[in-house]
Amino acid sequence: MSAAADHRTDAAVAPAPRARQAMLLEPGRLELREFTPAAPGPGELLLKIECALSCGTDLKTWRRGHPMWKLPAPFGHEFAGVVAAAGAGVEQFKPGDAVMAAPTAPCGDCFFCARGQENLCAQAMDRMVMGAYADYLLLPAHVVARNAFHKPDNLPFEEAALLEPLSCVVHAHAMARPERDETVLIVGAGAFGILHAMALKAAGVREVVVAGRGAQRLGWAGEMGADRVIDAAREDAAGAIAGLNGGHGPDLAIECTGQVAGWEDAFRRVRRGGRVVFFGGCAPGTTLGVDTRRMHYDNLTLLAPFHFRPRDVRDAFAMLGARRLGAGRLINARRRLDQLSEVFAMLERSAALKCAVIP
Protein backbone atom coordinates (compact mmCIF):
# COMPACT_ATOMS: atom_id res chain seq x y z
CA MET A 1 0.00 0.00 0.00
CA SER A 2 3.02 2.29 0.39
CA ALA A 3 3.15 3.81 -3.09
CA ALA A 4 -0.60 4.22 -3.11
CA ALA A 5 -0.64 5.91 0.26
CA ASP A 6 1.75 8.57 -1.03
CA HIS A 7 -0.92 9.76 -3.43
CA ARG A 8 -3.86 9.38 -1.15
CA THR A 9 -4.41 12.98 -0.14
CA ASP A 10 -3.52 14.87 -3.28
CA ALA A 11 -5.75 14.26 -6.28
CA ALA A 12 -3.67 16.50 -8.52
CA VAL A 13 -0.37 14.88 -7.59
CA ALA A 14 2.16 14.54 -10.39
CA PRO A 15 3.02 10.89 -11.03
CA ALA A 16 6.59 9.67 -10.95
CA PRO A 17 8.38 11.57 -13.72
CA ARG A 18 10.33 8.55 -14.97
CA ALA A 19 7.47 6.31 -15.98
CA ARG A 20 8.11 3.51 -18.49
CA GLN A 21 5.83 2.09 -21.15
CA ALA A 22 6.51 -0.87 -23.44
CA MET A 23 6.08 -0.08 -27.14
CA LEU A 24 5.79 -2.78 -29.76
CA LEU A 25 7.83 -1.31 -32.62
CA GLU A 26 7.26 -4.15 -35.06
CA PRO A 27 6.53 -7.86 -34.65
CA GLY A 28 9.09 -9.37 -32.30
CA ARG A 29 10.66 -6.03 -31.33
CA LEU A 30 9.84 -4.23 -28.10
CA GLU A 31 11.22 -1.10 -26.53
CA LEU A 32 10.72 0.27 -23.06
CA ARG A 33 10.23 4.00 -23.46
CA GLU A 34 10.16 6.68 -20.84
CA PHE A 35 7.09 8.83 -20.89
CA THR A 36 5.34 11.38 -18.75
CA PRO A 37 1.86 10.13 -17.88
CA ALA A 38 -0.84 12.64 -18.75
CA ALA A 39 -2.85 14.13 -15.92
CA PRO A 40 -6.32 12.57 -16.00
CA GLY A 41 -9.00 14.65 -17.69
CA PRO A 42 -12.65 14.80 -16.63
CA GLY A 43 -13.94 11.37 -15.67
CA GLU A 44 -10.54 9.72 -16.16
CA LEU A 45 -8.23 7.88 -13.79
CA LEU A 46 -4.48 7.58 -13.85
CA LEU A 47 -3.63 4.10 -12.60
CA LYS A 48 -0.30 3.05 -11.21
CA ILE A 49 -0.08 -0.47 -12.62
CA GLU A 50 0.53 -3.14 -10.00
CA CYS A 51 0.22 -6.06 -12.41
CA ALA A 52 -0.44 -6.66 -16.11
CA LEU A 53 -1.02 -10.11 -17.57
CA SER A 54 0.11 -11.61 -20.84
CA CYS A 55 -2.67 -12.75 -23.14
CA GLY A 56 -2.91 -14.83 -26.30
CA THR A 57 -3.89 -11.69 -28.22
CA ASP A 58 -0.66 -10.01 -27.12
CA LEU A 59 1.32 -13.03 -28.26
CA LYS A 60 -0.38 -12.98 -31.67
CA THR A 61 0.32 -9.24 -31.95
CA TRP A 62 3.94 -9.74 -30.92
CA ARG A 63 4.29 -12.43 -33.61
CA ARG A 64 2.60 -10.81 -36.57
CA GLY A 65 1.12 -7.43 -35.62
CA HIS A 66 -2.61 -6.81 -35.39
CA PRO A 67 -5.04 -5.59 -38.06
CA MET A 68 -6.52 -3.06 -35.63
CA TRP A 69 -3.37 -1.45 -34.25
CA LYS A 70 -0.81 0.50 -36.18
CA LEU A 71 2.71 -0.11 -34.91
CA PRO A 72 4.58 1.23 -33.06
CA ALA A 73 1.98 1.03 -30.31
CA PRO A 74 1.77 0.52 -26.58
CA PHE A 75 0.17 -2.78 -25.66
CA GLY A 76 -1.09 -4.97 -22.85
CA HIS A 77 -4.78 -4.87 -21.87
CA GLU A 78 -5.19 -7.02 -18.76
CA PHE A 79 -4.29 -5.08 -15.63
CA ALA A 80 -5.03 -3.97 -12.10
CA GLY A 81 -3.56 -1.05 -10.22
CA VAL A 82 -3.92 1.78 -7.77
CA VAL A 83 -5.38 5.20 -8.52
CA ALA A 84 -2.51 7.71 -8.73
CA ALA A 85 -4.76 10.60 -9.69
CA ALA A 86 -8.45 11.06 -10.44
CA GLY A 87 -9.87 13.53 -12.97
CA ALA A 88 -12.58 16.05 -12.27
CA GLY A 89 -15.99 14.55 -11.67
CA VAL A 90 -14.82 11.07 -10.68
CA GLU A 91 -16.76 10.33 -7.52
CA GLN A 92 -16.52 6.59 -7.09
CA PHE A 93 -12.71 6.35 -7.00
CA LYS A 94 -10.06 8.38 -5.21
CA PRO A 95 -6.27 8.31 -5.18
CA GLY A 96 -5.00 5.26 -3.33
CA ASP A 97 -7.95 3.05 -4.28
CA ALA A 98 -7.10 -0.35 -5.74
CA VAL A 99 -8.91 -0.75 -9.06
CA MET A 100 -9.62 -3.54 -11.54
CA ALA A 101 -11.18 -2.82 -14.91
CA ALA A 102 -11.99 -4.22 -18.31
CA PRO A 103 -10.08 -2.49 -21.13
CA THR A 104 -13.26 -1.60 -23.03
CA ALA A 105 -16.71 -0.21 -22.40
CA PRO A 106 -19.72 0.35 -24.68
CA CYS A 107 -21.36 3.71 -25.35
CA GLY A 108 -24.69 2.74 -23.86
CA ASP A 109 -26.96 4.25 -26.52
CA CYS A 110 -26.15 2.98 -30.01
CA PHE A 111 -28.24 0.44 -31.97
CA PHE A 112 -26.46 -2.54 -30.37
CA CYS A 113 -26.34 -1.12 -26.85
CA ALA A 114 -30.09 -0.47 -27.01
CA ARG A 115 -30.59 -4.18 -27.78
CA GLY A 116 -28.44 -5.48 -24.95
CA GLN A 117 -25.65 -6.45 -27.38
CA GLU A 118 -23.10 -4.01 -25.97
CA ASN A 119 -20.32 -6.39 -26.99
CA LEU A 120 -20.94 -5.25 -30.57
CA CYS A 121 -20.83 -1.52 -29.77
CA ALA A 122 -18.27 0.11 -32.06
CA GLN A 123 -16.86 2.10 -29.19
CA ALA A 124 -15.84 -1.06 -27.34
CA MET A 125 -13.20 -1.96 -29.93
CA ASP A 126 -12.42 1.52 -31.28
CA ARG A 127 -11.52 2.88 -27.88
CA MET A 128 -9.93 -0.15 -26.26
CA VAL A 129 -7.37 0.67 -23.58
CA MET A 130 -3.89 -0.47 -24.54
CA GLY A 131 -0.60 0.10 -22.78
CA ALA A 132 -0.86 -1.90 -19.57
CA TYR A 133 2.77 -3.02 -19.87
CA ALA A 134 3.80 0.20 -18.20
CA ASP A 135 4.22 1.94 -14.87
CA TYR A 136 1.11 4.05 -15.43
CA LEU A 137 -2.03 3.74 -17.53
CA LEU A 138 -4.71 6.33 -18.23
CA LEU A 139 -8.22 4.90 -17.93
CA PRO A 140 -10.67 6.81 -20.14
CA ALA A 141 -13.95 8.13 -18.77
CA HIS A 142 -16.19 5.61 -20.55
CA VAL A 143 -14.31 2.69 -18.96
CA VAL A 144 -14.22 4.35 -15.53
CA ALA A 145 -17.98 4.94 -15.69
CA ARG A 146 -19.01 1.44 -16.79
CA ASN A 147 -16.38 -1.25 -16.36
CA ALA A 148 -14.13 -0.29 -13.46
CA PHE A 149 -14.44 -1.69 -9.93
CA HIS A 150 -12.90 -1.43 -6.50
CA LYS A 151 -10.61 -4.42 -6.09
CA PRO A 152 -11.62 -6.47 -3.04
CA ASP A 153 -8.84 -6.45 -0.42
CA ASN A 154 -8.56 -10.24 -0.38
CA LEU A 155 -8.06 -10.48 -4.15
CA PRO A 156 -4.41 -10.28 -5.27
CA PHE A 157 -3.71 -7.74 -8.02
CA GLU A 158 -2.68 -10.47 -10.44
CA GLU A 159 -5.97 -12.32 -10.02
CA ALA A 160 -7.88 -9.05 -10.34
CA ALA A 161 -6.18 -8.57 -13.72
CA LEU A 162 -8.04 -11.67 -14.97
CA LEU A 163 -11.24 -9.61 -15.20
CA GLU A 164 -11.05 -9.21 -18.99
CA PRO A 165 -10.45 -12.85 -20.00
CA LEU A 166 -12.97 -14.11 -17.46
CA SER A 167 -15.57 -11.65 -18.82
CA CYS A 168 -15.14 -13.24 -22.26
CA VAL A 169 -15.65 -16.70 -20.74
CA VAL A 170 -18.72 -15.55 -18.79
CA HIS A 171 -20.24 -14.11 -21.96
CA ALA A 172 -19.69 -17.41 -23.79
CA HIS A 173 -21.33 -19.36 -20.98
CA ALA A 174 -24.27 -16.94 -20.94
CA MET A 175 -24.88 -17.93 -24.57
CA ALA A 176 -24.16 -21.66 -24.21
CA ARG A 177 -25.98 -22.17 -20.88
CA PRO A 178 -24.07 -25.21 -19.63
CA GLU A 179 -26.12 -27.46 -17.36
CA ARG A 180 -24.84 -29.27 -14.29
CA ASP A 181 -25.54 -32.75 -15.66
CA GLU A 182 -23.71 -32.17 -18.94
CA THR A 183 -20.43 -33.31 -20.41
CA VAL A 184 -18.49 -30.40 -21.87
CA LEU A 185 -15.58 -30.79 -24.25
CA ILE A 186 -13.06 -27.97 -24.47
CA VAL A 187 -10.94 -28.00 -27.61
CA GLY A 188 -7.59 -26.38 -26.78
CA ALA A 189 -5.51 -26.53 -23.59
CA GLY A 190 -4.31 -22.93 -23.46
CA ALA A 191 -5.09 -20.36 -20.77
CA PHE A 192 -8.59 -19.73 -22.16
CA GLY A 193 -9.43 -23.42 -22.42
CA ILE A 194 -8.39 -23.94 -18.81
CA LEU A 195 -10.24 -20.81 -17.64
CA HIS A 196 -13.41 -22.22 -19.25
CA ALA A 197 -12.81 -25.50 -17.41
CA MET A 198 -12.37 -23.69 -14.09
CA ALA A 199 -15.57 -21.69 -14.55
CA LEU A 200 -17.57 -24.77 -15.61
CA LYS A 201 -16.41 -26.80 -12.64
CA ALA A 202 -17.13 -23.90 -10.28
CA ALA A 203 -20.65 -23.83 -11.74
CA GLY A 204 -21.07 -27.52 -10.89
CA VAL A 205 -20.87 -29.00 -14.39
CA ARG A 206 -20.50 -32.77 -14.03
CA GLU A 207 -17.82 -33.59 -16.56
CA VAL A 208 -15.35 -31.22 -18.20
CA VAL A 209 -12.91 -32.73 -20.68
CA VAL A 210 -10.05 -30.80 -22.26
CA ALA A 211 -8.64 -32.03 -25.56
CA GLY A 212 -5.42 -30.35 -26.59
CA ARG A 213 -1.80 -30.71 -27.49
CA GLY A 214 1.42 -30.59 -25.50
CA ALA A 215 2.13 -32.68 -22.42
CA GLN A 216 2.86 -29.60 -20.31
CA ARG A 217 -0.41 -27.83 -21.14
CA LEU A 218 -2.46 -30.99 -20.77
CA GLY A 219 -0.81 -31.55 -17.40
CA TRP A 220 -1.82 -28.04 -16.32
CA ALA A 221 -5.36 -28.55 -17.61
CA GLY A 222 -5.66 -31.72 -15.53
CA GLU A 223 -4.27 -30.05 -12.40
CA MET A 224 -6.37 -26.91 -12.74
CA GLY A 225 -9.88 -28.08 -13.39
CA ALA A 226 -10.47 -30.63 -16.15
CA ASP A 227 -11.91 -33.94 -15.02
CA ARG A 228 -10.11 -35.57 -17.88
CA VAL A 229 -7.65 -34.56 -20.59
CA ILE A 230 -7.32 -36.08 -24.04
CA ASP A 231 -4.16 -35.71 -26.10
CA ALA A 232 -5.51 -34.50 -29.46
CA ALA A 233 -2.32 -35.64 -31.18
CA ARG A 234 -3.06 -39.29 -30.42
CA GLU A 235 -4.76 -41.38 -33.07
CA ASP A 236 -7.46 -42.58 -30.70
CA ALA A 237 -8.43 -39.04 -29.60
CA ALA A 238 -11.59 -38.91 -31.75
CA GLY A 239 -12.70 -42.29 -30.44
CA ALA A 240 -12.10 -41.23 -26.84
CA ILE A 241 -14.25 -38.11 -27.35
CA ALA A 242 -16.99 -40.08 -29.13
CA GLY A 243 -17.10 -42.41 -26.13
CA LEU A 244 -17.90 -39.60 -23.68
CA ASN A 245 -21.36 -39.17 -22.22
CA GLY A 246 -22.31 -42.84 -22.49
CA GLY A 247 -21.14 -42.99 -26.11
CA HIS A 248 -23.20 -40.01 -27.31
CA GLY A 249 -20.32 -37.53 -27.28
CA PRO A 250 -20.16 -34.17 -25.49
CA ASP A 251 -23.34 -32.10 -24.99
CA LEU A 252 -21.39 -28.91 -25.49
CA ALA A 253 -18.09 -28.35 -27.30
CA ILE A 254 -16.18 -25.12 -26.68
CA GLU A 255 -13.48 -24.30 -29.19
CA CYS A 256 -10.53 -22.38 -27.68
CA THR A 257 -7.76 -22.58 -30.26
CA GLY A 258 -8.50 -19.70 -32.65
CA GLN A 259 -7.66 -22.09 -35.50
CA VAL A 260 -10.02 -23.31 -38.22
CA ALA A 261 -8.93 -26.88 -37.47
CA GLY A 262 -10.11 -26.37 -33.87
CA TRP A 263 -13.47 -25.00 -35.08
CA GLU A 264 -13.90 -28.03 -37.34
CA ASP A 265 -12.98 -30.34 -34.52
CA ALA A 266 -15.55 -28.84 -32.15
CA PHE A 267 -18.22 -29.08 -34.88
CA ARG A 268 -17.38 -32.73 -35.56
CA ARG A 269 -17.12 -33.92 -31.94
CA VAL A 270 -20.29 -32.57 -30.36
CA ARG A 271 -23.19 -35.02 -29.90
CA ARG A 272 -26.39 -34.96 -31.96
CA GLY A 273 -28.56 -32.16 -30.64
CA GLY A 274 -25.54 -30.51 -29.02
CA ARG A 275 -24.20 -26.96 -28.96
CA VAL A 276 -20.89 -25.75 -30.33
CA VAL A 277 -19.22 -22.58 -29.10
CA PHE A 278 -16.65 -21.04 -31.44
CA PHE A 279 -14.75 -19.02 -28.87
CA GLY A 280 -11.37 -18.23 -30.41
CA GLY A 281 -11.26 -15.75 -33.29
CA CYS A 282 -9.37 -17.09 -36.32
CA ALA A 283 -7.06 -15.29 -38.73
CA PRO A 284 -8.79 -12.85 -41.13
CA GLY A 285 -9.97 -14.42 -44.39
CA THR A 286 -10.39 -17.95 -43.06
CA THR A 287 -13.66 -19.81 -43.61
CA LEU A 288 -15.44 -22.75 -42.04
CA GLY A 289 -16.98 -25.46 -44.23
CA VAL A 290 -20.06 -26.91 -42.57
CA ASP A 291 -21.55 -30.28 -43.46
CA THR A 292 -25.19 -29.31 -43.96
CA ARG A 293 -26.44 -32.84 -43.35
CA ARG A 294 -24.68 -32.94 -40.00
CA MET A 295 -25.85 -29.44 -39.14
CA HIS A 296 -29.52 -30.09 -39.97
CA TYR A 297 -30.21 -33.75 -39.24
CA ASP A 298 -28.12 -33.70 -36.10
CA ASN A 299 -29.91 -30.54 -35.01
CA LEU A 300 -26.77 -28.66 -33.96
CA THR A 301 -26.69 -25.22 -32.43
CA LEU A 302 -23.67 -23.13 -33.40
CA LEU A 303 -22.74 -20.18 -31.20
CA ALA A 304 -20.02 -17.60 -31.75
CA PRO A 305 -19.70 -15.32 -28.72
CA PHE A 306 -17.55 -12.23 -29.17
CA HIS A 307 -16.13 -10.07 -26.38
CA PHE A 308 -18.46 -9.25 -23.45
CA ARG A 309 -21.20 -7.00 -22.12
CA PRO A 310 -21.13 -4.97 -18.89
CA ARG A 311 -23.32 -7.62 -17.22
CA ASP A 312 -20.67 -10.24 -18.05
CA VAL A 313 -17.98 -8.03 -16.51
CA ARG A 314 -20.08 -7.64 -13.35
CA ASP A 315 -20.52 -11.42 -13.13
CA ALA A 316 -16.81 -12.00 -13.72
CA PHE A 317 -16.01 -9.43 -11.03
CA ALA A 318 -18.25 -11.27 -8.56
CA MET A 319 -16.71 -14.63 -9.46
CA LEU A 320 -13.18 -13.36 -8.95
CA GLY A 321 -14.17 -11.76 -5.65
CA ALA A 322 -15.70 -15.02 -4.42
CA ARG A 323 -12.40 -16.75 -5.24
CA ARG A 324 -14.02 -20.10 -5.99
CA LEU A 325 -12.37 -20.63 -9.38
CA GLY A 326 -8.78 -20.75 -8.26
CA ALA A 327 -8.18 -18.70 -11.38
CA GLY A 328 -4.91 -17.35 -10.01
CA ARG A 329 -3.34 -20.72 -10.80
CA LEU A 330 -3.35 -19.76 -14.49
CA ILE A 331 -0.61 -17.25 -13.73
CA ASN A 332 2.36 -19.53 -13.53
CA ALA A 333 5.19 -17.13 -14.30
CA ARG A 334 6.17 -13.66 -13.12
CA ARG A 335 8.55 -11.17 -14.69
CA ARG A 336 9.48 -7.52 -14.32
CA LEU A 337 8.44 -4.97 -16.92
CA ASP A 338 12.02 -4.75 -18.21
CA GLN A 339 11.90 -8.50 -18.93
CA LEU A 340 8.91 -8.27 -21.25
CA SER A 341 10.72 -9.67 -24.31
CA GLU A 342 11.56 -12.72 -22.26
CA VAL A 343 7.87 -13.12 -21.43
CA PHE A 344 6.94 -13.54 -25.08
CA ALA A 345 9.81 -15.91 -25.75
CA MET A 346 8.52 -17.97 -22.83
CA LEU A 347 4.93 -17.95 -24.14
CA GLU A 348 6.19 -19.04 -27.57
CA ARG A 349 7.70 -22.10 -25.92
CA SER A 350 4.46 -22.76 -24.00
CA ALA A 351 6.56 -22.49 -20.85
CA ALA A 352 3.79 -20.54 -19.12
CA LEU A 353 0.04 -20.13 -19.44
CA LYS A 354 -0.15 -16.54 -18.30
CA CYS A 355 2.68 -14.40 -17.06
CA ALA A 356 2.29 -11.58 -14.55
CA VAL A 357 4.29 -8.51 -15.59
CA ILE A 358 5.06 -6.44 -12.55
CA PRO A 359 6.54 -2.95 -12.96
Binding site for Zn ion (CB under 5 A): 55, 106-107, 110, 113, 121
User: Whole-number minimum distance, CB 76 to Zn ion, in Å?
Assistant: 9
- Which residues are within 8 A (CB) of 114 and not within 5 positions of it... i.e. 6 or more apart? none
Determine the Cα–Cα distance for residues 296 and 116; give it in Å rounded to an integer. 29
Nearest distance from residue 78's CB to Zn ion, in Å?
5
DSSP characters over 306-353: -S--HHHHHHHHHHHHHT-S-GGGGEEEEEEGGGHHHHHHHHHTT--S
**Smaller CB distance to Zn ion: residue 21 or 54?**
54
State which residue, 121 or 353, has the beta carbon closest to Zn ion.
Answer: 121
Least separation, in Å, of the C-beta of 28 and Zn ion? 19
3-state secondary structure of 88: coil
- Least CB distance to Zn ion at residue 155 (A): 18
Candidates 201, 202, 190; CA nearest to 318 is: 202
Q: Give least dist CB 165 to Zn ion, A.
A: 5
Give 208's strand partners: 184
Alpha carbon distance 158, 224 (integer Å): 17
Q: In the chain, which ranges are continuous DSSP H helix?
A: 2-7, 56-64, 111-114, 122-126, 141-146, 157-160, 163-176, 191-202, 215-224, 237-242, 244-247, 260-269, 292-297, 310-322, 340-348
Shortest separation between residue 12's beta carbon and Zn ion, angstroms? 32
Q: Which is nearer to Zn ion, 107 or 175 (CB)?
A: 107
Residue closer to Zn ion (CB basis): 168 or 218: 168
Of 275 and 307, CB closest to Zn ion:
307
CB of 52 to Zn ion, least distance (A): 10
* Element at 137 (helix H, strand E): strand 136-139
